[in-house]
Structure 1
Amino acid sequence: MSSIFELSPRCQELQKRLTDFVENDCLPAEEIYESQVGKGDQRWKVVPPIIEELKAKARSLGLWNLFLHKGYPEGPGLTTLEYATLCEITGRCPRVAPEALNCSAPDTGNMEVFAKYGTAAQKQKYLVPLMNGKIRSAFAMTEIAVSSSDATNIETRIDRVGDHYIINGHKWWISGAGDPRCKVFLVMGKSDPGNESAYKQQSIVIVDAETPGVEVVRPMTVFGYDDAPEGHCEVKFVNVKVPVSNIIAGEGRGFEVIQGRLGPGRIHHCMRAIGMAERTLDLMIARVTDPSRRTFGHILARHGTIAADVAKIRIEINAARLLVLSAADKIDKVNAKGALRDIAMAKVMVPNMLQKAIDLAIQAFGAAGVSQDTPLARFHAAARCLRIADGPDEVHIQQLARFELFRGDDIREKQDAVKRRRAQILANNSKL
């Protein structure tokens, strides 16, 4: 990576320190973390104590809040590219490592919103405790009754009444809403549904989690996993009343805010996915080269299809990594809006690559691959969800196709110029 993309000496040192922390502290803590998640009626009330131990150590090692771009004074001074390389390392331990570093979604995106758009009062009340890891947050956009892949469909109403907003809406798949530490929601809804621009009808407001009218209906499951204690929940907002000072950036700027939030976030997800793919490949290689596991007289790796699968996964991981790092580098150079095409390519390619790699690894493990004895089953669920989250494959493919097809006129013009030049050359040669 460093031979192609320029990484600061500080980033390279952080990579070494983080790798050691993930391998020697986070990965060994995975089983402990899962055992400490609440059971029964305590499932959404208990935060595994091990996570606080890991957070304390990460902070002492200087591995804290690494996500916030160097453009923010509150951040550690890393570029999007540099942080992307660190995301890959945490992706090897996705349930534990990101939170241990205070770098887990949806908090990272929400903290960036507060850092970029928040008033001094909003930063003091919400950003400071979030960056200190004292509270958690949720981002409430997707809705149960509409196709939320097109965010102009959002129906939640944010109506101004005097010095307050009244919020009514029915959301679901709201990450973080089940966590007992969740103290604040960023809620997207329509404040000006009659605006002639479909992209200026929406606003984002801050809602304290304990505000009357906020109801966490239920946690959603993902292939049977509920992701406690954080959760992806169905949430209702019924006549929720907040002061007008809780608006983010101003009325009608909801789309602007979410685009700034989602672009870098998609890259972070993709790099963590590559970390998951690398660990998946490591698990697969350890399994198929184990001399105690033989079929038809040979270790699994001696069978041609298995060996070919390992090689193919390696090729696809490396290709995906370069694509994502290129997108991160472009964000640094021309901002997220200028890197939309690159982000779209990465968001489509990486989850599909990860899903394929996990599927092949599960096949090599046999029944063990779908059991609780390996992380592959949970990885598979996460990979499949990532093809929907933050914009489904189809939306990014459609966006990418528009970028490419927009070049049609220019391409035809160049082709016509070549034909004219060819005709001139032929005419001149015929005179010789």
Structure 2
Amino acid sequence: MALTYDDLHIYFTREEWSLLDPSQRRLYKDVMLETYRNLMVIGCYWESHQIEEHCQSDRRYGRHERSPAGEKPHEYAQCDKAFSYYGHLRKHERIQTREKPSEGFQHNKALACHSSLQIHKRTDTGEKPYKCNQCDKTFLKPRYRRLHERTHTGEKPYKCDQCGKAFAQHSTFYLHKRKHTGEKPYECNQCGKAFAQRRCLQIHKVTHTGEKPYKCNQCDKAYSQPSHLRIHKRTHSGEKPYKCNQCDKSFVSHSHLQSHEKIHTGDKPYKCNQCDKAFSQPRYLQIHERAHTGKKSHECNECGKAFAQHSTLRLHKRTHTGEKPYECNQCGKAFAQSSHLQIHKVIHTGEKLYKCNQCDKAFSQQSHLQVHKRTHTGEKPYKCNQCDKAYSQHNGLIIHTRTHTGEKPYECNQCGKAFAHYSILQYHRKNHTKETQRM
């Protein structure tokens, strides 16, 4: 009888079994065979010739080796069929005799006490007798409980000798080492792309099928990965489990928190190769690079206005539809953009989370803090392409360019006079008010 993963699953998870090399697998199978022999000694009857046949077969052919030149040495005595693998012969015998794999074991009291049998029985009953003494979680084996307990103790016994990173589980440590070696054993059979982990390959395969089996039960959205659906569901529940320990802001995903934390550290690793600007996230760099190319591939089908980003087009379309999906839960005011709602909420709280590290000033918005910092540095990143003037704020540059174009977008609704600046229009309107009061 050939031993497979199914015979050893009470000792290993499938992931752990896949990480073993052939020599380690053979070692563990030999240990299992020895265990079965010991069971016979304590009162368990098992057809001993099967054990001997397996040992001989395993030594001669190995677990997966086929006999040379297509030879089929394993013959079934009751019919003319022959097989290359001993395991295939045993499977055929079971089909003919309707033998179940568990048959051959005669349970008695001595065997019932054997730990391996007890663990195996629990896979059928679902019993998990090993309970964590710090939380309510239970486990099938004490080994699983020990691994779990490390989440409470913080114990990480497996340390990488190349980067110093430590891990609680050997399997995670084993996968980490591939980052240093560059090993990628899991290859896509459609495009040849390789991955360090099997689950990454499974996720990648969905890009070929386009399948999105994970559907939200509250809206029509569907996702290719369960983790993406889980994050999406938080937009309905309002749950934000990832909290910043510097400003108490919370996020729906760990990646969003990591991006946010760069605001506090000032880390901007993504640099533009055409100017000196740097960004905390790659997508911000991609957006910025379009300012150099001038490419605007996303066009509104109602007014023809074009945008560099699809997300900006989506927001623009709300100016046509009047859609305002983000509502304040304190005053009921609604907004077209989530960022506008967040800015509005500060009116109710009065909170100013963004503090200047050079003076005592604080701001409710991070963009306001960035503009303020330029008063200390003297930085003027917004330069006019027609003259030498530069400005610390983008709005200042827009107003200045009107001196070149002659554009006057602000028109008085009483006399029709137009102005380049909104502030000048407001001042002009006061003249009409004074005239009315005189009359």
TM-score by length of 1: 0.21
Higher percent of residues as helix = 1
TM-score by length of 2: 0.21
Higher normalized contact order (CA 8 Å, seq sep 6+, divided by chain length): 1
Larger gyration radius, structure 1 or structure 2:
2
